[in-house]
Chains A and B, each alone.
Chain A
Amino acid sequence: MSVVTEVLEELWSMFVGDRRLTLLVLAVLAIAATVSWLAPGLRAATPALILIGAAGVLADSVFQAARKAR
């Protein structure tokens, strides 16, 4: 395998190593951005939404991996 291919694979695995985690993080951020844009009154809740969403995605990903491993 060429070095370039390995570098590209490394870059890909850095951010998309777990496809489900990547998609869920992007979904959380899309929801937070939509809320922040469509409802400026709720903008103050956006940081909490991102934090809770990220924590939820982490928990989902950990439990999913543990389930697969056992």
Chain B
Amino acid sequence: MLVWTTAAPAIGAAFIASTVEVVEAFTIVLAVATLRGWRPALSGAFAALAVLAVVVAALGPALNLVPLHALQAVIGVLLLLFGLGWLRKAVLRAAGVMALHDEDAIFERERRELGEEMTSDRVANGIAALASFKAVLLEGLEVVFIVLAVGAGRGLMVPASIGALAAFVAVMAAGLLIHKPLSRVPENTLKFAVGVMLSSFGVFWTAEAMEAPFPGGDLALPALAAVFLLIALALAAIVRLRPAEVAS
């Protein structure tokens, strides 16, 4: 039976992480659509979704063949690397060291670059579909990894998939409604939250893989998230307030 304390972080992590990725893919698909129409934009996007579906269909059952401890070890390490990487960038953006992700600027740049590449109508539609395909494939790969990583180690594939699917539906609904890049999505705040959750999962699973579980079992997950959140907020504050000391 599913335990809510385990399922909720899985759904939350998959939902928030997927929201970030789907927003990024949507920006480029929308740029393609406004330049060349929805046909090449959607054909590229659906082709990428088909490739991703094949990847999930191939990897999902294959993961069931891997012993649980080995799976937790590999996924735990990958989650820790991926989560800490996201958290690092989110802290640096929150501290003003790195520029924030600007969907409006990305939208305009993509339109400009696509416009420069297009010579004839046929070539233009091909390039547009390819741009849409690449955007959905590259961002989608991250969603697939997050769903597999969050879900595979503890039989949480269904909650993780629900989180990702809900994100896809929410972003598409919002995007179709406003028909503009979703620049008001607080992307860095979401990345901060995802970095915290994925790092927590990573620490939790690597410890379990070493047969040294955290006391309290699954209840340790929210506690780990709180610890990572406090550390990340403190780091952002230190870097923002004392740049000279950090730089010296």
Residues of chain A having any CB pair with chain B under 8 Å: 3, 6-7, 10-11, 14-18, 21-22, 25-26, 29, 32-33, 36, 43-44, 46-47, 50-51, 54-55, 57-59, 61-63, 65-67, 69-70
Contact = CB atoms under 8 A, between A and B. Distances in A.
B195 to A, nearest CB: 9
B243 A43 contact: no
B134 A63 contact: no
B84 A54 contact: yes
B173 interface: no
A54 B202 contact: yes
A66 B84 contact: no
Using C-beta atoms within 8 Å of the partner chain, give the interface range for chain B.
Answer: 35 or more
Interface in B59-107: 77-78, 80-82, 84-85, 87-88, 91-92, 95, 97-98
Interface of B: 77-78, 80-82, 84-85, 87-88, 91-92, 95, 97-98, 130, 133-134, 137-138, 141-142, 145, 199, 202-203, 206-207, 210-215, 220, 224, 227-228, 231-232, 235, 239, 243, 246-247
A15 B81 contact: yes
A58 B88 contact: yes
Given A14-B141, A55-B231, 19 more contacts: A15-B78, A15-B82, A16-B81, A21-B85, A43-B210, A46-B207, A47-B207, A51-B203, A51-B224, A54-B84, A54-B202, A57-B84, A58-B84, A58-B235, A65-B97, A65-B98, A69-B92, A69-B97, A70-B247
